[in-house]
Every structure is written in structure tokens, then in C-alpha cells.
A and B are shown apart, each in its own frame.
Chain A
Amino acid sequence: MSSRPIAVTASRTLTIAAWIAGIAVWAALPWLLGRGSVDILVFAGLYTIAGLGVSFLLGQCGIVSLAQSVFYGIGAYSTAYGTTVLGWPIPACMLAGIVVSGLVAMLVGTPVLRLSGYFLALATLALAIMGHVLFLEWDWLTGGTLGIGGIPHLSLFGFTLNTPFRFYYFIWPCAAVVLWLHYNLLRSRTGIALRAMRDAPSAAKVAGIRVESLRVRTFILSAVLGSFAGSLFAHYVSFVSIDSFGIDRAIGFLLIAVLGGARSISGTVVGALFVTAAPNLLSRLGEIHPLLFALLLIVAVIFLPSGFGGAFADLWRRLGGSLRPTVKDGTP
């Protein structure tokens, strides 16, 4: 027992050191990397936000969602249409996207989330397909295959965020805030209820947890994240077209959740980095790169069944003693 305070202190020191080092590396990266690489990191930030929605649903609710591309699209088109055609202020467009996504998630989620397992995954896939078709067909709103251009860049404190370098310093703090909010949620009454109902829904109902409503609310939260990321994406690239909101994007978001480790919130960052950077790095090896990416995915899934986040948590636990000083008083 006497070694516990030492182990806890060591763990805390290690945590603080890792945080400082991490932030220093994060701040230095755009100065060291080329424009192309920073662009990839910006996308990793965008995908962290959208992917977290999918990851949280999967890890804390057990819901496999392939519908995130739809909400990403709703966010992007709301911003594109609102700013270029309607001339609305940027925050209003973002909010409109969030509200529409939330409403769609509520209307679709209420019946669909009664399903479970493969049926639910297929239903969300159907939603992704329907979304893609509607984005294509409603060309008065979305510009169809031609897309919508001329979307204004964001401006902050007199800086126009029109380069990867500038957007990098905006998107990652956004992602950090979103991650922090989800950490909070996980530790709250609602977060514990979520994990309880994922593991034993019947017992959760007896404990008074309104399982169906909580699933729908979490789906809405996920959609809100997707929409927010979509809006930011539109402002970053200033041109959106149907290509960005296909099934491959939906699968990409799910991949972020699976690779990152669905039960780990910070793992989403690693998942997003992998999904954005790996294909790009591998493409330098020539035509064979899609095959290599697929191979890498298989290897990752086999050797890291709980994703990068799960593997990292294990390693951390071994390095810093126990990550769960919970043993002492039981509180996480």
C-alpha cells in the first residue's frame, strides 16, 4: 500500500509531461511541415469532430452509424447555401445546419434506433444512401454535381482563416473543446447511464433510465457534431460538392471510430490522423497504395481490437502504474 502514493505521483507527473510535450509538438508542427501535410492535419481535425460523433455512439451506446456523412453534408450545404445564396451571417448558417441535422436525427432516429445490431447498421447505411441521392437531386439547394463555390472563409481576430496554416490553429482548439465536452458527458449522470444501458438495457430500465429516449438524444448529439464539422469543412475549402458526402465518407467516419477505439474519446484523434494521413503517405509508394491501406487496416484491426485508444490506455496503465486511482475510493 505504501507504494501507491508514489505510483499516483509518478502517473500524474507523466500525465503533465505528456500534455506539455503534446501541446508543444502540436504548436510546432505547422512550422515544420509543408502546406500539404498541414492540410492533412486540418482534415484530421475536422474528421476528429465528425468521427467523435460516430465513435461516441458506437462506444457508449453500441450503435453502428453509417449516417454521419449525411449530417456532415447537411452542415456543409447549410453553410454553403446560407452564406452564398441567402447571405446569412456565418453563425446563423452553422446553427441552421445543426438544427436541421438535429431534427433529421430525431425524426429518423426515433423509429430506426429501436432496431439493433446489423439491422440498425443497415438502416443507417440506407439513410446515408438516401442523403447522397437527395444531395444530388436537390440541385437547386446543393448545386448537384457542380457544387457550390465562393463560400467565405472564417475570420477570427482580424485573421482570415484562408490557409491550412491558419485553419490548423483554429480547428484543433475546436476539436479539443468538443473532446473535453464529451469527457464531461461521460463522467456525468447521463454518461454513466449511457454505458449502463449499452451493457444491460433491461437492468438500466429498472434503474429508471429512459433507454429509447437516451439513444435518440445521443444520435442527435452525434448528428450535431457531424453538422458542425461539415460547416467548418465548407468554410475551409470554400467549395462543396456531392463528392464529399458519399458512402466512402460515411465509412471513413466509422473507420475513425473503430481504429481509434470506440470506447476511447481521445483515440478518435489517432483514428482521424490515421484515416487522413495513412492513404496520403502510402500513395508515395505508387499505384499499390489502396491495397497497402487495406492491408494496414486489417493488421490494425487484428492486433488492436480495441483500437489505438484501447492499446494506448493499456500501455499508459503499465507505464504510470494505475490509471485508475479509482481503486482507492472507486470514483473514476
Chain B
Amino acid sequence: MTEAADALLKVRNISRHFGGLQVLRHVDFAVPERSITGLIGPNGAGKSTLFNIISGFLTPSEGDIDYAGVRITPLSIQQRSEMGLMRSFQTPQVFPDLTVWENLIVGCHKHGRSGMVEGLLALPVVWRERRAASEAAQRILEDFNLGAVSGRLARELPAGQQRIVELARAVIARPRLLCLDEPSSGLSADEVQDLMATIHRISKTGVTILLVSHDMELISVCERIHALCFGEIIANGTLAEIQAHPDVREAYLGIQ
């Protein structure tokens, strides 16, 4: 119970149905602050639906999401983002017609306050914000090794690099909880290794990470893993415990 007590995110009794189709059933789990927590499950287990509910893209049919001690179920995606809850997408969602640099600047959006009128008149506040965002972007470019492509349009980059841009954009926004949806899909073995190192690095800066993945290698970065199957949590524990769990072996790995 100590885990639940200092949890940053609590998924409480979440159910969701689409018409007659029950996708999630009374899902309960907690993500401790500063942890790397994993969520695994076969296709159709309801992982993406759960992610969408946590990030505010879907509302649950039942249950609540608590984040940093606040019930965030009624809050918008943007309000959650303001509180430091960021997510990535299964297919990387970069801004294709913006340069890598501009993609990072968008990540700084919520740190600025200037509006349309200030923008039209190019008031000093706009320049101040731009300078601050540029400095942050410069640091992140170096951290994520994106310096060489900073002026390229995001759509010109290979899928692996687009993922890194998406991740870098989330990190520049100074998240408290970073939810990563299948971040290794489409990456080569080497790129997955780099991604694991990056996730460790982000985690060391105090960011809590919730990771959804199929990839058993990537999921090994998690301290605790929850296994979702047909909309229910069927097991939780360390990677070794999960891999040994008979229900998981049957449902997820297909082994009796």
C-alpha cells in the first residue's frame, strides 16, 4: 500500500465501453512518483484506450484518474498538460511541416503567456519568450543529438528520428509524468538500445514514466509492470515475476 500512498498517478476502477463492447473492466493501478512503470498486454487488451483516458482524449464510462492528488477525470487534455502530464503517440505525432527546431519550440508553448495581439505587434514579451524557448531548445537538441537536423522539416526525417523529436518535444515541456505509447515500434535494435538509455536519462531527472510496449527488451527498463488482458489487470510485479506469471504466459505470451 505504500506504493499507492506516494503514487503520482492513480487509475481507480476505470471501465470503458464503446456501445456494447467492454474494453476496460475495473482497471486499478498506481504509478509511483519517479518510477518507470510498464503496461503490457496483447493487441486489443485496451492499452491505448487506457492511455487515452489517462491523457484526456477519452472519458471513462466509470472510475476516476487521480494525478498529483487531484481528480483529473473532468479536466481537458490541455489542463492535464499544464499539470505536467504529457504523452507520446503510437504513430509518432510530429508537426510535419515545422522544422525540428520549431517542433521543440511548440513544446515550450505552455511556458509562454503571449497571445494574438502581442504576437501581431511583436511586443517585447514575444521576443523574451522566444529567447527563453530558443535556449531550452538548444539544450534539448544537444541532449537528444538532434543538432544536425534542427533545420530540417520533421516530415523529412526517418521514423526513428521522428520518435526522438516527439520525445524531445515532450521533455522540453518539463513533464512530471511522461506516458509513452509503444515508443519502440518502427525502431531498429540499435535505436531501441538508444531509446532505453534515453528513457533512463529522462527518469534520472525526476520524471515519472509510464510505458506501454510490446517490446520485452524495452519493457525491461521498468521497475514494475502491469499486465492488461481483455480490459483487466491480470498481474503486476517485476519483469521476472510477470514473465513467470501463469496467466500472463497464457494470455500474453501464448505459453501454457
Contact residues of A with B, CB < 8 Å?
Answer: 181-182, 184-185, 187-193, 195-196, 198-200, 202-210, 217-218, 221, 324, 326-332
Contacts and interface: CB of A to CB of B under 8 A. Distances in A.
A157 to B, nearest CB: 24
Contacts of A328: 151
Interface residues of B, number: 48
Interface in B15-60: 55, 57
A206 B101 CA distance: 18
Interface stretch (B4-12, B74-82, B234-242): B74-82
Given A184-B120, A203-B93, A221-B116, A209 B98 contact: no
B93 A189 contact: no
B252 interface: no
Given A206-B81, A326-B99, 19 more contacts: A181-B121, A184-B119, A184-B121, A185-B120, A187-B119, A189-B119, A189-B133, A190-B119, A196-B102, A199-B96, A207-B81, A207-B107, A208-B110, A209-B109, A218-B116, A326-B151, A330-B137, A330-B150, A332-B99
Nearest to B57: A202
B68 interface: no
Contacts of B118: 188, 190
Contacts of B173: 207-208
Contacts of B66: none
B238 to A, nearest CB: 30
12 contacts: A187-B119, A196-B95, A196-B98, A199-B95, A199-B98, A202-B93, A205-B76, A205-B81, A207-B81, A208-B110, A209-B106, A330-B150
Contact of A332 (B82, B102, B121, B126): B102
Main secondary structure of the interface of A (DSSP, over half): helix
Give 6 nearest A-B pairs by CB, closest first.
Answer: A330-B101, A188-B119, A208-B110, A330-B150, A203-B93, A327-B151
B169 interface: yes
Nearest to A213: B78
B82 A195 contact: no
Contact of A195 (B78, B89, B95, B169): B95
Contacts of A191: 119
A207 B96 contact: no
Interface string B121-157: 1100010011001100100010000000011000000
A208 B78 contact: yes
A190 B55 contact: no
Nearest to B107: A207
B14 interface: no
A203 B57 contact: no
A182 B119 CA distance: 8
B17 to A, nearest CB: 22
A189 B95 contact: no
Contact of A188 (B76, B100, B114): B114
Contacts of B224: none
